[in-house]
């Protein structure tokens, strides 16, 4: 933790860490991309047509100035973005740390009781979230995909933090952060029932089974499969299973002499499922109640965040007759929900369209195209939520989340209304602009 270092050493260490993080982000953007794996990072194997690499190319920030010599290969201004990313990390990591220790997350000038012990946890947990969202944002801008290296890794890290360090969850101050009898407000953490109190029997076997079911659905969603719904549900499930597992052929004709093998990603996910189910069972036996509340909250946040975007993706695809959102948006919001909780996941989803509105309008006016990468704006919504959490939660906790189950009924109704709206908008666009703007 930087606070354990001498005061004069904290800033240099944080700035050095920021540079290292910036270098890693640039490497991951070009290494984890699915379609545009360009060897732009100086830490990657150079392209054959690129100029020779020098040790000075690996100097953060300044090294990108010398990389301009490869502009004919990668584009005229390819070096600007990675240089800005490393500069932003150099300044951003110290700023983020001092923002936390100055009470930015809780919006409190007078720091609450217990703050010192959890500030470091916030720094590492939410720092990891911001780094992963940054990587996913730029890959999504480049190719409209979000790789599993970002979302799966982030979700697993969030679950580990939730089970081992429950204080990493977003803070909630008792009495709204007000001083009571001259005493400092006490720091608590948000949980799946916030702002309502927890029930008396909320962590038994049913909760464990729910967590296992969420993990199972998440793993199945990540499996490589190709649904073919027009042949019926039963045959489609068989096709998806065959595509994910690729069992040996029952017959081998002269044109197909090589038998199929199960993809490595399927084996990896199957192993992750087995380990995850065992870890959940062990956790429910050995972890204290506060850890289980945090872990269960992470699973519910993961299910709600991913399920909300998944439902909208299905509705939009059916209503517009084309893919409304990529599945990377589903796994990204599941990761955000695992880190921040289902309440925050709902707020992030509400804020994301406002973050994207101006970009969409400009793009549609200029190009007549309304398709955008939605993942960056989910990430922007999560960033806005972290910055405004201390001021936002006292308001929305009473006006929105006190509704409890009624809120879920309102969300279900909103999804139905959205489906009707999308069908209407598709019809209007077809009348105004012709079929070329409606057809995929």
Other C-beta atoms lying within 10 Å of the C-beta of residue 285: 8
CA 303 to chain centroid, in Å, comes to 13
Q: Is pLDDT of 345 > 90?
A: yes
Could you give the maximum distance between any two Cα atoms of the chain, in Å?
Answer: 86
pLDDT band for position 204 (50/70/90)?
confident
Mean of all residue pLDDT scores within the chain: 80
Token code pair at residue 395: 């308001």
Q: What is the structure's pLDDT at 398? A: 82
236 within 8 A of 229, measured Cβ to Cβ: yes
Q: Is pLDDT of 436 > 60?
A: no
**Long-range Cβ contact pairs of 199-202 (< 8 A, separation 24 or more):** 202/293, 202/296
Which comes out higher in pLDDT, residue 230 or 312? Answer: 312
CA 430 to chain centroid, in Å, comes to 34
Q: Is pLDDT of 418 > 70?
A: no
Smallest CA-to-CA distance from 212 within 262, 164, 282 is with 282
d(CA 352, CA 156): 24
Which comes out higher in pLDDT, residue 326 or 91? Answer: 91
Q: Average the pLDDT over each of 10-19, 255-264, 330-339 and give the range with the smallest value.
A: 255-264
Bridging pattern class, strands 171-173 and 187-189: antiparallel
Where b means 16+ CB within 10 Å and e means fewer, 129-168 reads bbbbbbbbbbbbebebbbbbbbbbbbbebbbebbbebbbb
Q: What is the structure's pLDDT at 438? A: 40
- Phi/psi of residue 60, each to 5°? -55, 145
Other C-beta atoms lying within 10 Å of the C-beta of residue 63: 20
Q: What is the structure's pLDDT at 395? A: 86
Q: Average the pLDDT over each of 95-99, 151-155, 174-178 and give the range with the smallest value.
A: 174-178
As a whole number, mean pLDDT of residues 87-115 equals 81
d(CA 48, CA 40): 12
Q: What is the structure's pLDDT at 304? A: 93
Which comes out higher in pLDDT, residue 204 or 296? Answer: 296
Lookup result for tokens 């796994």: 331
pLDDT digits (tens, 9 = 90+) for 126-174: 999 999 999 999 998 888 889 999 999 999 999 999 999 988 899 886 6
As a whole number, mean pLDDT of residues 229-256 equals 64
What residues contact residue 234 under an 8 Å CB cut-off, 6+ apart?
none
pLDDT digits (tens, 9 = 90+) for 53-67: 788 888 889 888 888
**H or E segment and range at residue 82:** helix 80-101
Instruction: Tell me: cis bond preceding 46? Omega within 30 of 0 counts.
Output: no
Residue 177 gets the label, from left (phi > 0), alpha (psi -120 to 50) or beta, of left
Smallest CA-to-CA distance from 390 within 185, 196, 192, 198 is with 185
**H or E segment and range at residue 9:** helix 7-31
pTM above 0.95, yes or no: no
């Amino acid at each position: 933790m930087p606070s354990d270092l001498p005061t004069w050493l904290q800033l240099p260490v944080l700035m050095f860490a920021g540079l290292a993080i910036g270098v890693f982000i640039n490497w991951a953007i070009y290494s984890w991309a699915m379609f545009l794996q360009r060897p732009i990072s100086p830490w990657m194997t150079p392209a054959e047509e690129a100029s020779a690499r020098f040790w000075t190319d690996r100097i953060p920030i300044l090294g990108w100035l010398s990389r301009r010599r490869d502009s004919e290969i990668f584009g005229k201004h390819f070096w600007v973005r990675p240089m800005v990313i490393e500069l932003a990390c150099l300044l951003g990591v110290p700023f983020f740390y001092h923002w936390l220790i100055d009470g930015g997350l809780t919006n409190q000038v007078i720091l609450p009781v217990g703050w010192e012990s959890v500030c470091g946890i916030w720094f590492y947990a939410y720092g990891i979230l911001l780094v992963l969202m940054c990587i996913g944002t730029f890959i999504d801008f480049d190719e409209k995909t979000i790789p599993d290296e970002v979302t799966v890794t982030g979700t697993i890290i969030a679950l580990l933090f939730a089970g081992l360090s429950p204080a990493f969850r977003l803070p909630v101050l008792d009495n709204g952060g007000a001083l009571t009898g001259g005493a400092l407000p006490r720091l608590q953490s948000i949980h799946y029932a916030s702002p309502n109190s927890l029930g008396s029997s909320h962590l038994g076997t049913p909760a464990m089974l729910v967590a296992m079911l969420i993990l199972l659905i998440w793993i199945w969603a990540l499996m490589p499969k190709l649904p073919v719904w027009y042949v019926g549900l039963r045959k489609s499930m068989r096709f998806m299973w065959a595509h994910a597992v690729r069992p040996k052929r029952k017959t081998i004709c002269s044109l197909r002499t090589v038998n199929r093998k199960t993809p490595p990603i399927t084996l990896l996910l199957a192993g992750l499922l087995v380990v995850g189910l065992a870890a959940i069972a062990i956790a429910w036996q050995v972890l204290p109640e506060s850890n289980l509340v945090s872990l269960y909250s992470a699973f519910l946040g993961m299910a709600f965040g991913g399920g909300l975007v998944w439902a909208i993706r299905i509705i939009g695809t059916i209503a517009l007759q084309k893919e409304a959102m990529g599945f990377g948006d589903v796994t990204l919001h599941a990761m955000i929900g695992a880190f921040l909780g289902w309440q925050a996941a709902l707020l992030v989803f509400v804020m994301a369209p406002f973050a994207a509105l101006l970009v969409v309008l400009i793009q549609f006016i200029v190009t007549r195209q309304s398709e955008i990468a939605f993942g960056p704006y989910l990430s922007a919504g999560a960033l806005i939520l972290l910055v405004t959490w201390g001021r936002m939660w006292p308001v929305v906790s009473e006006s929105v989340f006190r509704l409890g189950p009624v809120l879920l009924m309102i969300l279900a109704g909103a999804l139905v209304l959205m489906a009707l709206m999308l069908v209407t908008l598709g019809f209007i666009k077809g009348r105004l602009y012709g079929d070329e703007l409606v057809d995929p």
